[in-house]
Amino acid sequence: MKNRNILVSGAGIAGPALAYWLHRNGFHPTVVERAPGLRTGGQAVDLRGTAREVAERMGIMPRLRQTHTGARGMAFVDRTGNRVATMSTEVFGDSGGPIAELEILRTDLSRILHDLTRDNVEYVFDDSVSAVAQDDDGVQVTFERGGSRRFDLLVGADGLHSTVRRLVFGPEQSFVRHLGCYVSIFSTTVPVDRDGWELVYTVPASGGRPGRSAGVYPVPSRDSAVALFFWGSPPLRYDRRDVAEQKRILTRAFEGDGWRIPRLLADVGTAPDFYFDSVSQVHVDTWSRRRAVLLGDAGYCASPMSGIGTSLALVGAYVLAGELAEAGGDHRLAYPRYEHQMREFVTRAQKFARSAGGGGLMPASRAQLWIRNQSIRLLPYLPKSVMSRGMEKVAHAVTLKDYGNGHAA
């Protein structure tokens, strides 16, 4: 077996999942993460299609079901809180519709993957890659907190703003495509009914202000709920390290709006898990350069609009580790095979996200908002193939190979 020592940058979802399969296949992964510990916050994530099969092979499905958020559906409300349209998991089931049958908080999935790997994988928190030098025999990696180490291979699983991608492939602006909106997510103490319904209030564009939506996602097992905000905007110039500036941008975008928005914004200042970013996709012509390769959002982010980013990460991790094992660690064979296996899945997911658009959450007019509500009311009476909008085909775009690693021990 060649190239056993592998550095994985990023301890979100893709990185630990890859580390699990690398270890199972006889490699020695090290995971480096810029944050001082596992990142908290983020929205509920869906496990769809082939990703469920990966989770089964990892042996984590029982824990995933235990941490299921209890989501029953999404209810769109008016300014006074009256429900004007609903989408229920009972209607969609596992058809691949916009409401997934199995949703868990990203924080919970991250913890499950870390628990699964921490005894067999070296984790280095509060550090990051600052320089990369590749040669015919390996990769010399310099770290921000000092020192350097040599590895056989390098994997960038460090998200939309990937450091590995920037150092190895080029500047971010060459690969990240803005989809015309922003998202913010954080914990809130706003009282909500813990009945499994996500409430969403939408304001159509008017008076020069873009369409926008604010939502509250209840988590039955916790005292707090999750607040979500989506709003239309061209690319903004701001410091990604300046959280205070990001909070001001969010507050300005929803200033003066009704429903529970003033109360939600009042929690922004003290939110311990504030998240803010553009809704974007990542397009890279090829996901590998010599000994370095990209995984998950770092290489092919489909955006939150796809509803399938977590599935891309889990399936991509399984395929990348499996192809490395099947090639005896020879990255020259494994990397192209990994890309061949995953490319159609990625293409479909990104196309699906673009076709979904933001009209549902960021309508351009009151008429468009009315059409959205009427369309949602019709969904229960439509064939499942129409309700899923093609999601089922996207989620099952990859047929998993066995790679000889079987199921979790």
pLDDT in 10s for each residue of the chain, 409 residues: 899 999 999 999 999 999 999 999 999 999 999 999 998 776 778 888 899 999 999 999 999 988 887 777 889 999 999 999 998 876 655 544 555 567 888 889 999 999 999 999 999 999 999 999 999 999 999 999 989 999 999 999 999 999 999 999 999 999 999 999 999 999 998 888 767 789 999 999 999 999 999 999 887 666 778 999 999 999 999 999 999 999 999 999 999 999 999 999 999 999 988 999 999 999 999 999 999 999 999 999 999 888 889 999 999 999 999 999 999 999 999 999 999 999 999 999 999 988 876 778 999 999 999 999 998 898 887 766 555 556 778 888 899 999 976 444 4
Q: pTM above the 0.85 mark?
A: yes
Residue-range domains of the chain with CATH: 5-41+64-69+105-175+281-358 (3.50.50.60)
Distance of CA 87 to the CA centre of its chain: 22
Q: What is the pLDDT of residue 168?
A: 98
Number of H helices, E strands in the chain: 14, 18
Given a contact cutoff of 8 angstroms between Cβ atoms, the answer to whether 132 and 167 are in contact is yes
- What Å distances lie between residue 353 and 150, 281, 303, CA to CA? 38, 9, 7
Q: Burial letters for 369-390: b for 16+ Cβ neighbours within 10 Å, e otherwise? A: beebbeebeebeeeeeeebbee
Q: Which long-range contacts (CB under 8 A, 24 or more apart) does 173-177 make?
A: 175/282, 175/283, 175/284, 176/278, 176/280, 176/281, 176/282, 176/301, 177/280, 177/281, 177/282, 177/283
| Residue-level pLDDT at 82 | 95
- CA-CA distance, 150 to 137, in Å (whole number)? 10
Predicted pLDDT of residue 47: 84
d(CA 123, CA 8): 10
Give CA–CA dist 298/13, Å, rounded: 12
